[in-house]
Every structure is written in structure tokens, then in C-alpha cells.
Structure 1
Amino acid sequence: MSDILKQIDDVLEARKSDSPDSSYVASLYDKGIEKILKKVAEESAETVMAAKDLEHSNGAKKDQEHLVYEIADLWFHTMVLLASQNLSSNDVTTELQRRFGLSGHDEKASRSE
């Protein structure tokens, strides 16, 4: 799984030097952080709606596929956000690895101290 994330990270980094006319990602970078944040918010909302649709359909295959599609969009745009801030998926997976095996309650409590 991390291979595809690394490949996406590499493409996102390369798009920083591309013309906004030649690349969707370059156009997001060119429009700035506000546009990127709006895309993340939009994709988050679409993910929530897809999850609600799936819940109401009792697990219909097409609704499962739609949820996966929307989460892929959300992950992608979140990765664009990371790249725009000179971060990568590796930064997130490292944090997830740090948390692995911790109680969620303990992890949350450690942040509020």
C-alpha cells in the first residue's frame, strides 16, 4: 500500500514545478492553500454523504464502491494539502505507526496534557 502513496507523493512534488495550465494539481498549488482547503472540505462532505447513503442502502455494492471512490478523492486531496505544506504521506504513516497499539483513550489523553 505504501508504494502507491510514495508514487503519489512523488507526482505531487513534481507538480509543484509544472504550469497550472498543464496539471490539475499544479493549478491547485497555484490557487493557494484556501483552494486546497476548500477541496479537502468538499471531499470530506462528499465522503460523509456517501457513507450515509451506504448506511441507508444496507450495504449495496454500488454504494460501497461510491464510498471508496469518495474516500480516494479525500485521501488524494489531503495528500495535495500535505505536499503543499512540504509534508508527505510518510509523515502521516509515521504518526499512525507511533500510535499503533496505543489505546485510543490513552493517545487522546496524551495530546491534552
Structure 2
Amino acid sequence: MVNEENLSSEDLREIYQEHHFGILDSIFALVKHRAKYPVEGSYTNYMLQKGSDHILKKVGEECTEMIIAFKNNDADVLVYEIADLLYHVTVALAHFDVDLEQIFEELVERRSR
């Protein structure tokens, strides 16, 4: 049972196990699948085929758009831009062979420091 008053690293691991950020896992699985089994006309395949520079440029663009949405205090646009950013970061992670599990574990580990 998670102690809501004082979250420990173990509590965070339990929350992660329970919720597991399902949509991110699904998107990441799809991106990895598309990398292995390309689908003609797929934007994900287009991004992966363009390579590192294109993917990283897109991550930068989405990050800038997110910052502008924050500055404009526009919650609807912010949600949209963060979704774009998360998608493109997921593509970058797959391209560079970094698993989401590694990111989640790093976040849990940082919490315990």
C-alpha cells in the first residue's frame, strides 16, 4: 500500500507498477514495431527513416512550441504540444535504442537521492 504522506522510492515503484504509464508504453511499442516492420505512409516510419538530425530537430521544435504555450498560458495548446513532444521524444528514444523502462527507473532512482 502506498504511503501518500511520505512517498518513498518503493512507493514510486509501486505506483509505476500499478499505472505503468500505459499510453506511453503503447506508443513506444508501436514506434519500435514500426521501426522493425515499416508501414508505408506512416509518419513514424518517415521520422525514423530521416534519422537522428531530423528527429532531434523535431524534438527541439516541439519543445519550443511547448515553451510558447506555457508563456501564453494556453492550457489547451499546452496539452497538445506536450503530447507532440512526448511522441517525438518517444521516437528519439526508439531511434537511439533507449527503453522507456530505463527512463522510469532513472526517475525512481532520482527520487531516492
Asked if Structure 1 and Structure 2 have the same fold, meaning a TM-score greater than 0.5 normalized by the shorter chain, the answer is yes
Give a deviation string over 1:62-90, Cα, whole Å, max 9, x none. Answer: x1111111111111100100000111222
Which of 73, 87, 103 is the aligned partner of 1:76? Answer: 87
Report SS of the residue matched to 2:78.
helix
**Distance in 1, Cα, partners of 2:98 & 2:41:** 23
Identity, in percent, stands at: 37
**Distance in 1, Cα, partners of 2:47 & 2:105:** 26
Normalised by the length of structure 1, the TM-score is: 0.77
Give a deviation string over 1:5-37, Cα, whole Å, max 9, x none. Answer: 111111011111204x32101011111111000
Gaps of 5+ in 1: 55-62, 103-113
**Distance in 2, Cα, partners of 1:53 & 1:101:** 34
Gaps of 5+ in 2: 1-18
User: Is 1:65 paired with 2:76?
Assistant: yes
Report SS of the residue matched to 1:26.
helix
Normalised by the length of structure 2, the TM-score is: 0.77
Residue aligning to 2:29: 10
Which of 86, 109, 113 is the aligned partner of 1:98? Answer: 109
Q: How many residues align?
A: 93
**Distance in 1, Cα, partners of 2:31 & 2:99:** 9
**Distance in 2, Cα, partners of 1:30 & 1:49:** 29
Give a deviation string over 1:30-52, Cα, whole Å, max 9, x none. Answer: 11111000100000100010000
Q: Which has the higher contact order (CA 8 A, sep 6+)?
A: 2
Output the aligned Cα RMSD.
Answer: 1.2
**Distance in 2, Cα, partners of 1:30 & 1:40:** 15
Asked if 2 retains the 8 angstrom alpha-carbon contact of 1:79 and 1:88, the reply is no
